[in-house]
Amino acid sequence: MQDRRKFIHTFVRGGLLTGVTLLGGFLVLRDKDGEFCGLDGHCSKCDKSSTCSLSPAAHFRQSVWQLDPSKCIQCGRCATECVMTLSAVKCTHVYAMCGYCDLCGGYLKPDIKTISTAAENQLCPTNAIRRKYIEEPFFEYEIDEALCIGCGKCVKGCSAFGNGSLQLQVRHDRCVNCNECSIARNCPSEAFSRVPASSPYLLNGIDQDSTKKI
Ligand code: SF4
Ligand code: SF4
Ligand code: SF4
């Protein structure tokens, strides 16, 4: 137990920073030269505006769609209803909440015989979750966003057997900010709402003040 506390102190504090930084990364967009743009809904037309490759929707967004993970029941429609070919909704790992569990309910199918990284043991249909050994008995789980389809299976598993550190979020570097979001229209739990672009993310179970400082 002492080891666990030490681990939580060392790695999870680091994880908090990593997770928050990651979310901070969602709030910035790249211009065509690959440089970061600080646009967060208040584009004031910088000196690169004539060559900027951001979509018009990204330029002028004053408000965005937000997914409230506390309302989400992981129905699967975020994966199928988005207008994007690969959904703009992705699983986000809130490292600050993660227990770095060996037996991770978001990574492993519930009925496996042995804990291993074998493809048949993994809950994710696209193998989008990477498992990395940290130190006995802790493992870190990372989402490969390019593979994530936003199906929510891992989120459901983590909520049922873990502490809910895996959460679905609308990723605003991918979302084209439809006036009428087709997921919102079809969401059975009304988890989508329109919010100011300056505070696009709502995390469940974490101090929101820490994310506002990003
Ligand atoms: S449609 Fe709504 S309930 Fe279903 S996975 Fe998406 S946010 Fe969750
Ligand atoms: S289980 Fe679904 S939501 Fe979770 S990482 Fe895999 S594709 Fe994404
Ligand atoms: S606003 Fe459009 S692109 Fe964004 S999540 Fe909804 S359907 Fe997908």
Residues 112-159 pLDDT 10s = 888 888 999 999 999 999 999 999 999 999 999 999 999 999 999 999
Q: Which residue has the higher pLDDT, 161 or 46?
A: 161
Residue 18's nearest CA partner among 94, 90, 106, 69 is 94
d(CA 69, CA 40): 22
Q: Cα(168) to centroid of ligand 3, in Å?
A: 13
Mean pLDDT score of the chain, rounded to an integer? 80
Q: Cα(10) to centroid of ligand 1, in Å?
A: 34
Which ligand lies nearest the alpha carbon of 200? 3
Q: Is 138 helix (H, G, I), strand (E, B) or coil?
A: strand
As given in the structure block, the two tokens for residue 124 are 């994710």
Whole-Å CA distances, 177 to 9, 86, 91, 123 = 38, 15, 18, 30
pLDDT score at 40:
52
pTM for the structure as a whole:
0.78
Which of 66, 84, 174 for mutating ligand 3's site (highest number of atoms within 8 Å of CB)? 84
Residue 206's nearest CA partner among 164, 153, 150 is 164
Q: Cα(118) to centroid of ligand 1, in Å?
A: 28
As given in the structure block, the two tokens for residue 116 are 């291993």
| Cβ atoms of residues 32 and 51 within 8 Å | yes
> DSSP assignment, residue 122?
B
pLDDT above 90 coverage of the chain, percent: 53
The per-residue pLDDT for range 53-82, each reduced to its tens digit, is 555 555 656 789 999 999 999 999 999 999
pLDDT score at 213:
30
Which of 126, 141, 171 for mutating ligand 2's site (highest number of atoms within 8 Å of CB)? 126
Triad 70, 24, 164: Cα angle to 5°: 25
183 touches ligand 2 (CB under 6 Å):
no
